[in-house]
Structure formats: structure tokens, C-alpha cells
């Protein structure tokens, strides 16, 4: 019998003000509870019928969205364990641009199942070991669940097919329209080697008014302002981009001038005027017909630009200036003067048009063979919040194209892949000896959260829908096994044994539209397909986040830096 000695005290070890939470205090359970709280916040926003959240950030700006990445970006999460989940979600956003909600929801569910195992007496090491085995098996299984792949990336219909599900999860009902818009915009800028596709080449301009159906794609750039001069249109023009002010140069010293008569006053700025006129004439003689200014344009300079019939537009954002340089093929100049031929760009059409009462300037290249340009999606909508949300859906779609260029494989959506993973990982748990088998079984059960949430958000009876899904998948798997064919996956695609036409496919998912009485549908037939790469990254990141949270047994928090908080504004400042 060993004598239990008290652990080392932390008194005097840290500076005063430190907080420490040990495993004895239930640190792991408390971490899991914090992660579940963040998971439940975004869980109801999963899928096409996901609920919106209103988040009012520290600047009192209202954000109304069902996009998990945006919700988590605006919430200031301070709990260190919950922050790990948020960081995993942000990693998914930067890697794939979609599936951020799946990472949080799946990680939250994995931790919830882990809590059940901890209460049954399993050690965290057994759970993390089981989760790791299950994760590796799940990623291998996911490779077998491929049902389709994009054969031709440059086909708009093929690309729309892959983007439809991504867009539908944010904008249900408008997915066909938005997927076509994104596909058209992407194909206009897709380089010869699709892997080099840059998501920054697809821009979005939001103009309030009208309806979403009036949105369109413009091959070029759109600026929400008119040209500054009287010239509003140019065709087949040379373009010069200046990042410096176009104005009379200012002297470094200030002086006082005494003017005796009117003639002296007229002659006072004559020299400067002549120099400026000479500079603008130099631009005209070099062939420039469009000038883009990255800073101010003086009134006198504007006068001479108008006299020489040169179109001038101010673009004060340096990022927009760089993008425009990419469109026209120009080099931004830091001095006012005639550019060299290789520093000039060219543009087919610069015109000012009116969209919904807003005057906008369009820089458009009409050469259909040029693909290295920027394309812009002009969005129309009733409210600013709606336009912001549609922009997020388009952003997800464009990022999905970047993922497709690397891996064009697709798996069934609508929760079909998750139910199949539950079945296959559960079977793997039955074959695994030792304590990790309990963790593997719980890992499998965690995937059930996706179809369950989809069914609940669509107003269906989740328990009944899940039982029908399990029945369909079980019969499909049983049919595949009984056929005796080596190629198990191909049998699964052909609907089990292939002898019975009524045999359910393992691609059966949740019917959110409510068209079938059973509440299920064939995801592949309906065209509900998810990216395999996106799903794979989500599983990997969620599993690693859950394992990291479980392996923490102590949190030590230092006292916040700085002295006392400054007093806030006096609410009664106007009272005597």
C-alpha cells in the first residue's frame, strides 16, 4: 500500500494574480463544456436551412449571417480551449474556404462523446489513441466514397455542378443562379494551368436595389465612382497609372509675396501653370488617353487633362490600384511624367454606366482569348445585409474552385457520407481489440450530428429520418457484401447487389425539401455533392482540435498586464 503524498504547492512559484486550473478541479470537463458552448452557437447554422445569427461587434456594426467563419471572426472568444476550435475553423477557412461550420460542430460532438467516456472511467490517453486510429481509418474510408469527379474544369455546367452545394449551404434557393455566376466569372480568369488560379482575380461589387436575378459578370473591373473630368468614355486606349498626386509641386519652404498690381498677380503662377501644362502635354504626346491617379488630382491639372481629352479617375485604395494595374498591364509610377512604353497599359473599353441609380466606371477587356484578367460580379439586392451574405456565399464558391483545381473528386452530400462513415467506423471498432474500441465507436457516433442537424433545421423528425437513413445504408452495405464482388465501392454505387432495382443506394441522404414521404433522397441523383478535399480537411482539423483539447490537463493564466482600467465616459455628463 503506497502512501499518497500531497502534490507540490504552487504558492510562491508564480507572481501574484496567477490562476491555475488542474485536472483535479475538472479542467478537462470544463474545457469540453466551453467548446460545446461555442459548438452549439454555430450548430443551428449548419446547412441550407441553417438559422441566421445577429452579431453586433465592438464597433456596434450589425452582422447578420449563417456563415460560421464570419460569426466566429466577430465573436471575441477568450476561453483558451474554445479558441483552439476557432483556430481550427480559421485554418479550414484559409485552406478550403468552406466547411468551417463542420469543423466546429464535429469537434464539439467528438468532445461531447469523449466526456461520456471520461465519466465511464476511461483515461484521456485511451480516448486520444482511439480517436487517432479512427481518424486515420475515416480518412482512408473517405477516399473510397468518391462518386464523381470533375472531368472538364473549363466547362461551365461541370463547374456549376460542384459549386451548387457549396453555395446552397449559404443561399438556399438561389444556388443555381449564384453557381452559374461564379462559374462564369472564374472561367473568364482561369489560367492555362488551373492550379495557378488566384481567388483575388474574382471581385465582387455590391449595388443596392433591384433583385438578385439582375446580377451579372463583367470581364474587367468596376469602380463605384465616375471619372473626375468631363471625359467619361474611352476605347482602345493607352493607360497610365500614377501613385503620386497630379498637381503643382509644392515648395518645401513657405514665403510671403508682396503683389503691387493686377498684372503681377496674373503672372504669379504663370511659370507653374506652364510647367503643369507641359507635363500633361507630355502625357498626351506619349499616347496616354486614360490616367488613373492613386492620390489627389489638382483643379488646374484637371483643367489641362480635360483640354487634352484625357479621361482621369481617382482610385484611392492602393489594393484596387494594384488590381487595376494587373487588368491593364501597367506599372504604377511614383513621378508625374510620360511613362515608358513598357510602363503603359492598354484597355479596350472604359465607360461610365448607371446601375440602379449609381454611376459606376467599368474597365473592360473585350478580347475573349485573354484569361489573365480580373472579372467582377456585380451583385444587386434589396438590403446591405443581404448583399453581404450573398458576397460570402460567392467567396465560398470561388475558394471551392481553388480546392477543385487541386482535387476534383466529389462525395455524396446531404449527410450520406457521414452516415456511411458511421457504419464503416463502427464496423472497424468491432474489429479493434482493447480499450480504444470504445473511443472509436464514439468517434463514429459523432458523425451522426451532421444528418441530425440538417433534419432538425429543415423541421423534420430527426430520429425518424436517421433510422430510415441507417436502414437504407445497412441494406446497401449488406447487398454489397452478399454479392461477393471484390470491388465493394463499385457495388455500393450500383446500389448494393445490383440485382434488385429497389435496393437502396448508400448515397441516401436527408431530403430537406420534403419532396419524399420518407424524408430521404439519393444525393447523387439530386446533384447534392460535396468536395472530398473539403470534407477530408474538416475531419482532420476537427479530430486534431478535439484531441488537443482532451490532452490539456492544466490551464495557467497570468494576470492581465497594465494597471487599473481607465474610467469610462460619465453617463451623466450633461447634468448640472
Sheet holding 202-208, edge to edge: 202-208, 375-381, 216-218
Angle at 122 between CA 118 and CA 124, to 5 degrees: 75
CA distance 496 to 117: 35
> Residue 502 domain-assigned?
no
Task: Give the C-alpha distances (Å, rounded to integers) separating 57 from 53, 73, 91.
Answer: 12, 10, 22
In 10 A of CB 196, how many CB atoms? Answer: 10
Question: What are the grid coordinates assigned to 146, written together?
Answer: 468518391
Question: Where a domain ends, among 347, 371, 395?
Answer: 371
> Residue 82 domain-assigned?
yes
453 shares a domain with 550? yes
93 shares a domain with 67? yes
Whether the predicted pLDDT of 3 surpasses 70: no
230 shares a domain with 366? yes
Q: For the chain, what is the largest distance between any 2 Cα atoms, rounded to a whole number of angstroms?
A: 112
CB 35 within 8 A of CB 81: yes
76 shares a domain with 142? yes
User: For residue 1, what pLDDT is reported?
Assistant: 41
User: For residue 502, what pLDDT is reported?
Assistant: 41
CB 391 within 8 A of CB 353: no
CATH code assigned at 387:
3.30.260.10
CATH code assigned at 32:
1.10.560.10
Confidence at 326, pLDDT banded by 50, 70, 90: confident
> Residue 573 domain-assigned?
no
Q: Which of 137, 109, 114 is nearest to 126 (CA)?
A: 114
312: helix, strand or coil: strand
Residue-wise pLDDT for 415-426, tens only, equals 788 888 888 888
190 shares a domain with 119? no
Of the ranges 114-128, 253-267, 354-368, 503-517, which is most confident?
114-128
Residue-wise pLDDT for 269-312, tens only, equals 677 777 777 877 877 788 788 888 877 777 777 887 888 888 88
140 shares a domain with 100? yes
> Residue 497 domain-assigned?
no
Confidence at 567, pLDDT banded by 50, 70, 90: low
Q: Which of 64, 77, 68 is nearest to 42 (CA)?
A: 68
CA torsion, ordered 117, 119, 123, 127, to nearest 10 deg: 20
CA distance 89 to 515: 33
User: For residue 342, what pLDDT is reported?
Assistant: 78
376: helix, strand or coil: strand
CA distance 267 to 111: 81
93 shares a domain with 53? yes
> Residue 316 domain-assigned?
yes
Q: Tell me the helices (H) and strands (E) count for the chain, helix number first.
A: 18, 18
419: helix, strand or coil: helix
123 shares a domain with 59? yes
Residue-wise pLDDT for 522-532, tens only, equals 777 777 788 88
357 shares a domain with 432? no
Task: Give the C-alpha distances (Å, rounded to integers) separating 42 from 52, 75, 86, 110.
Answer: 9, 11, 11, 15
CATH code assigned at 351:
3.50.7.10
229 shares a domain with 211? no
Number of domains in the chain: 3
> Residue 309 domain-assigned?
yes
Pairing of strands 202-208, 375-381: parallel
- 24-33, 234-243, 388-397, 461-470: the lowest-pLDDT one: 24-33
353 shares a domain with 228? yes
Q: What does the chain come to in residues?
A: 576
> Residue 5 domain-assigned?
no
Whether the predicted pLDDT of 176 surpasses 60: yes
Comparison of pLDDT for 167 and 527, the residue scoring more:
167
Question: What are the grid coordinates assigned to 220, written together?
Answer: 474587367
Phi, psi (degrees; rounded to nearest 5) at 139: -70, -35
Mean pLDDT taken over the chain: 76
Share of the chain above pLDDT 70, in %: 82
User: For residue 518, what pLDDT is reported?
Assistant: 62
CB 53 within 8 A of CB 65: yes
CA torsion, ordered 325, 329, 335, 341, to nearest 10 deg: -170
CA distance 346 to 339: 13
Phi, psi (degrees; rounded to nearest 5) at 422: -60, -50
Question: Where a domain ends, among 371, 393, 425?
Answer: 371
Confidence at 251, pLDDT banded by 50, 70, 90: low
Confidence at 487, pLDDT banded by 50, 70, 90: very low
Own/partner pairs, 455-464, CB within 8 angstroms, 24+ separation: 455/415, 455/510, 455/519, 457/44, 457/46, 457/47, 457/49, 457/50, 457/51, 458/47, 458/49, 458/510, 458/512, 458/514, 459/49, 460/510, 460/512, 460/514, 460/519, 461/519, 464/519
> Under 8 Å CB-to-CB from 417, ≥6 apart: which residues?
142, 145, 411, 530, 535
> Under 8 Å CB-to-CB from 209, ≥6 apart: which residues?
356, 357, 358, 380, 382
Q: Which of 524, 490, 510 is nearest to 410 (CA)?
A: 524
> Residue 570 domain-assigned?
no
> Under 8 Å CB-to-CB from 255, ≥6 apart: which residues?
none
User: For residue 305, what pLDDT is reported?
Assistant: 80
159 shares a domain with 239? no
Q: Which residues pair with 235 in a beta bridge?
A: 349
CA distance 539 to 422: 13
CA torsion, ordered 222, 320, 156, 403, to nearest 10 deg: -160
Give the pLDDT mean for 239-258.
73
> Under 8 Å CB-to-CB from 352, ≥6 apart: which residues?
226, 227, 232, 233, 359, 360, 361, 362
Question: What are the grid coordinates assigned to 535, written together?
Answer: 470534407
Phi, psi (degrees; rounded to nearest 5) at 308: -90, 10
Give the pLDDT mean for 43-71.
80
In 10 A of CB 502, how many CB atoms? Answer: 7
Residue 90 buriedness (CB in 10 A; 0-12 / 13-18 / 19+): middle
Owning domain of residue 96: 18-147+414-477+519-556
Whether the predicted pLDDT of 151 surpasses 80: no
pTM here? 0.77
Under DSSP, the state recorded for 21 is E
64: helix, strand or coil: strand
Amino acid at each position: 500500500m503506497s502512501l499518497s503524498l500531497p502534490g507540490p504547492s504552487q504558492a510562491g512559484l508564480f507572481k501574484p494574480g496567477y490562476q491555475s486550473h488542474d485536472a483535479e478541479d475538472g479542467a478537462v470537463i470544463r474545457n469540453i463544456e466551453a467548446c460545446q458552448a461555442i459548438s452549439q452557437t454555430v450548430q443551428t447554422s449548419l446547412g441550407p436551412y441553417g438559422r441566421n445569427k445577429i452579431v453586433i461587434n465592438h464597433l456596434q456594426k450589425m452582422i447578420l449571417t449563417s456563415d460560421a467563419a464570419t460569426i466566429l471572426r466577430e465573436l471575441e472568444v477568450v476561453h483558451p480551449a474554445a479558441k483552439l476550435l476557432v483556430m481550427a475553423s480559421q485554418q479550414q477557412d484559409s485552406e478550403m474556404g468552406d466547411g468551417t461550420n463542420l469543423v466546429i460542430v464535429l469537434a464539439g460532438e467528438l468532445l461531447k462523446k469523449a466526456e461520456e467516456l471520461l465519466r465511464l472511467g476511461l483515461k484521456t490517453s485511451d480516448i486520444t489513441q482511439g480517436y487517432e486510429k479512427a481518424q486515420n481509418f475515416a480518412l482512408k474510408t473517405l477516399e473510397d466514397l468518391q462518386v464523381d469527379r470533375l472531368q472538364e474544369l473549363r466547362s461551365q455546367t461541370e463547374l456549376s455542378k460542384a459549386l451548387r452545394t457549396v453555395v446552397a449551404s449559404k443561399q438556399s434557393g438561389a444556388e443555381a443562379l449564384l453557381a452559374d455566376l461564379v462559374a462564369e466569372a472564374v472561367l473568364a480568369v482561369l489560367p492555362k494551368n488551373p492550379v495557378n488560379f488566384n481567388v483575388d482575380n474574382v471581385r465582387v461589387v455590391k449595388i443596392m436595389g433591384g433583385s438578385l436575378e439582375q446580377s451579372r459578370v463583367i470581364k474587367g473591373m468596376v469602380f463605384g465612382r465616375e471619372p473626375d473630368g468631363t471625359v467619361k468614355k474611352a476605347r482602345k486606349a493607352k493607360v497610365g497609372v500614377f501613385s503620386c498626386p497630379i498637381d503643382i509641386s509644392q515648395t518645401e519652404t513657405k514665403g510671403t509675396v508682396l503683389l503691387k498690381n493686377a498684372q503681377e498677380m496674373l503672372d504669379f503662377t504663370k511659370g507653374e501653370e506652364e510647367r503643369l501644362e507641359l507635363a500633361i502635354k507630355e502625357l498626351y504626346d506619349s499616347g496616354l488617353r486614360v490616367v488613373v491617379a492613386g492620390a489627389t488630382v489638382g483643379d488646374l491639372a484637371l483643367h489641362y487633362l480635360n483640354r487634352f481629352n484625357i479621361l482621369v479617375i481617382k482610385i484611392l485604395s492602393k489594393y484596387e490600384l494594384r488590381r487595376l494595374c494587373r487588368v491593364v498591364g501597367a506599372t504604377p509610377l511614383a513621378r508625374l511624367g510620360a511613362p515608358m512604353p513598357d510602363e503603359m497599359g492598354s484597355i479596350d473599353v472604359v465607360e461610365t454606366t448607371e446601375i440602379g441609380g449609381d454611376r459606376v466606371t467599368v474597365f473592360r477587356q473585350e478580347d475573349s482569348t485573354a484569361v489573365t484578367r480580373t472579372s467582377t460580379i456585380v451583385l444587386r439586392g434589396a438590403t446591405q445585409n443581404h448583399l453581404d451574405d450573398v458576397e460570402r456565399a460567392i467567396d465560398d464558391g470561388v475558394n471551392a474552385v481553388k480546392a477543385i483545381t487541386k482535387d476534383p473528386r466529389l462525395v455524396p452530400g446531404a449527410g450520406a457520407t457521414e452516415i456511411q462513415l458511421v457504419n464503416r467506423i463502427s464496423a472497424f471498432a468491432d474489429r479493434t481489440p482493447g480499450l480504444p474500441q470504445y473511443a472509436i465507436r464514439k468517434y463514429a457516433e459523432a458523425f451522426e450530428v451532421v444528418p441530425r442537424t440538417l433534419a432538425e433545421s429543415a423541421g423534420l423528425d430527426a430520429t425518424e429520418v436517421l433510422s430510415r437513413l441507417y436502414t437504407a445504408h445497412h441494406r446497401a452495405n449488406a447487398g454489397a457484401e452478399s454479392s461477393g464482388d471484390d470491388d465493394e465501392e463499385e457495388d455500393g454505387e450500383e446500389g448494393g447487389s445490383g440485382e434488385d432495382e429497389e435496393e437502396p443506394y448508400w448515397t441516401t441522404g436527408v431530403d430537406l425539401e420534403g419532396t419524399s414521404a420518407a424524408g430521404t433522397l439519393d444525393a447523387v441523383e439530386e446533384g447534392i455533392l460535396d468536395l472530398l478535399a473539403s470534407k477530408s480537411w474538416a475531419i482532420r482539423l476537427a479530430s486534431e482540435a478535439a484531441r488537443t483539447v482532451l490532452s490539456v490537463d492544466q490551464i495557467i493564466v497570468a494576470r492581465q498586464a497594465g494597471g487599473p482600467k481607465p474610467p469610462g465616459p460619465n453617463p451623466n455628463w450633461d447634468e448640472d
